Amino acid sequence: MSGALAAHAAPADGAPAGPPGASWTLSAAMARAVEAGRDVSSARRALEGARADLVTAGVTPAMQLSLNTLAINPRQMGHGGPWSRPFDTILRLEQTLERGDKRAWRTKVAEAGVAAASLDVQATARLQSAAAAEAYWRLKLAQAQTDIARDNARLAAQGRDIALERLARGDLSRLETTRLSVEADRAANEQAQSELQLQQARQRLRQVLALERDERAAALSADDPWPDDQRAIPLDHAMIQAAVARRPEVRAAQERMAQAEAAVSLAEAQRKADVTVGVQFEHDPPVGQRLWGIGVSVPLGVADRQAGPLAKALVQLEDARAEHERTLAVAQAELENLLAAWETARTRLTRIERQLLPQAREALKASEYARTQGALGLQDLLDARRTLHAVELEHVAAQADHAMVRSTLALLVDAPGLPGADLSAAHVVTP
């Protein structure tokens, strides 16, 4: 267990717990999502099932023991103990010997299944961590938007109250007072909407962390700072291909292709008939008390009976190859889209922080000064305030987009030099 999670963990009902109702860090949220996530748990169970299949694959046909008593004549039961009666009793031991390396091919099929299931756990854990990171940053965005809306509503309410006082003294027209009242009501509505979105964001993170039924987590908050990494990512085609090849879902698809190839070889091996050898001991008092025998049996027409299973195995191999190609294409497209999204997010955030936000603040400052000097109307001042408010909201939205893309890059793409690479190293699951 990671240090961040260990500091908050408190198992309940057999599932790990985080810090319900308290501040959450991003690392704690991702660790909780991996440890308690339902999808990860399902992938782990599938891995245990694959390991059970591997045990089964190594099992050879069981030896058969049979005991038969023949030639029983009710009219001539004889005398003495059962062993002295005139019955023909046969004790037979048989063993089927597999041909065509069937056990080896079964084992290869099962081993590839275990490898694929193990990689599925890694892929699912990364996806679950990415979902937790996205929900975490969306919660932080909702918190920031709510803070901005509350400040805006507070300032608008103060402006309305001052306007009402000035209207009572005759220092302000009713039109301007009405405008300020409308602005205050609009800001109050925006605050209510932002608080609803904050509640929804908390509920979403609770779902990802499997804390829906824990009432203590109703007020959880995301308190990590926004990441400030705004580097460009110089990845060439070869680096992209290498990063895609390392994706656990791509490697899992490769293992399933190898599994399908081994299944074809197993189906071909099934066309070779197995040989059953046996040895028997016969007790027949009228003839002789100790008679021994051996036998060999081979089923006929086995090869023809395997035409269907072999054809099905070949179809499944083609499906596995097609799935591998699809997974590879999806992973590459996802990486290219993520890189483009990262470039857009960092450029947008840089532009807002270096240009839009300072300009909007300067414009409001100048408008407020001009208003005090009587050189600017109320509507122009309100427009300047709305502009700054909109830019502030766009700023936190850009920070959230930047943080989400960064986390997704770090968790879903294993490539050196990517932003947030420190996150991915802590959440690679080794089943």
Element (H, E) at 67: strand 64-70
> Of the segments 86-95, 140-149, 329-338, 378-387, which one has the largest average pLDDT value?
140-149
State the average pLDDT over residues 362-376.
84
State the average pLDDT over residues 94-117.
94
**According to the model, what pLDDT value does residue 160 have?**
87
State the average pLDDT over residues 176-198.
91
- What distance in Å separates the CA atoms of residue 344 and residue 355, rounded to the nearest whole number? 16
pTM recorded for the entire structure: 0.79
Residue 220 has pLDDT above 80, yes or no: yes
Q: Lowest-confidence range among 10-24, 68-82, 157-171, 238-252? A: 10-24
Do the domain assignments include residue 361?
yes
Residue 20 has pLDDT above 60, yes or no: no
Could you read off the pLDDT of 147-166 as tens digits, one per residue? Answer: 999 998 988 898 888 888 88
Do the domain assignments include residue 196?
yes
- In the chain, % of residues over pLDDT 90: 45
Residue 213 has pLDDT above 90, yes or no: no
**More confident position, 170 or 40:** 40
- In the chain, % of residues over pLDDT 70: 84
Domain that holds residue 346: 3-60+98-271+306-426
- pLDDT interval class at 83 (50, 70, 90): low
State the average pLDDT over residues 412-422.
57
Contact 83, 5 (CB under 8 A): no
Residue 369 has pLDDT above 90, yes or no: no
- What distance in Å separates the CA atoms of residue 153 and residue 125, rounded to the nearest whole number? 41
Closest CA to 36 of 245, 212, 160, 193: 212
**Overall domain count for the chain:** 1
**According to the model, what pLDDT value does residue 326 have?**
96
Residue 234 has which token pair?
């110089």
Do the domain assignments include residue 284?
no
**More confident position, 5 or 29:** 29
- What distance in Å separates the CA atoms of residue 37 and residue 30, rounded to the nearest whole number? 10
- pLDDT interval class at 197 (50, 70, 90): very high
**According to the model, what pLDDT value does residue 288 have?**
61
Do the domain assignments include residue 161?
yes
Residue 355 has pLDDT above 80, yes or no: yes
Contact 238, 352 (CB under 8 A): no
- pLDDT interval class at 211 (50, 70, 90): confident
**According to the model, what pLDDT value does residue 7 have?**
32
**According to the model, what pLDDT value does residue 170 have?**
83
Q: Residue 131 maps to which CATH number? A: 1.20.1600.10
Do the domain assignments include residue 380?
yes
**According to the model, what pLDDT value does residue 284 have?**
72
- pLDDT interval class at 422 (50, 70, 90): low
Do the domain assignments include residue 225?
yes
Residue 139 has pLDDT above 80, yes or no: yes
Residue 71 has pLDDT above 70, yes or no: no
**Given phi > 0 = left and psi -120 to 50 = alpha, else beta, which region is 11?**
beta
CA count, 13 A, side-chain hemisphere, 30 = 29
State the average pLDDT over residues 237-266.
91
**According to the model, what pLDDT value does residue 176 have?**
83
- pLDDT interval class at 17 (50, 70, 90): very low
Residue 230 has pLDDT above 80, yes or no: no
Residue 330 has pLDDT above 80, yes or no: yes
Do the domain assignments include residue 82?
no
Closest CA to 44 of 121, 114, 112, 111: 121
Do the domain assignments include residue 205?
yes
Mean of per-residue pLDDT scores for the chain: 84
Residue 111 has pLDDT above 90, yes or no: yes
**According to the model, what pLDDT value does residue 13 have?**
40
CA angle in degrees (0–180, nearest 5) for 369-370-374: 120
**According to the model, what pLDDT value does residue 9 have?**
33
**According to the model, what pLDDT value does residue 2 have?**
35
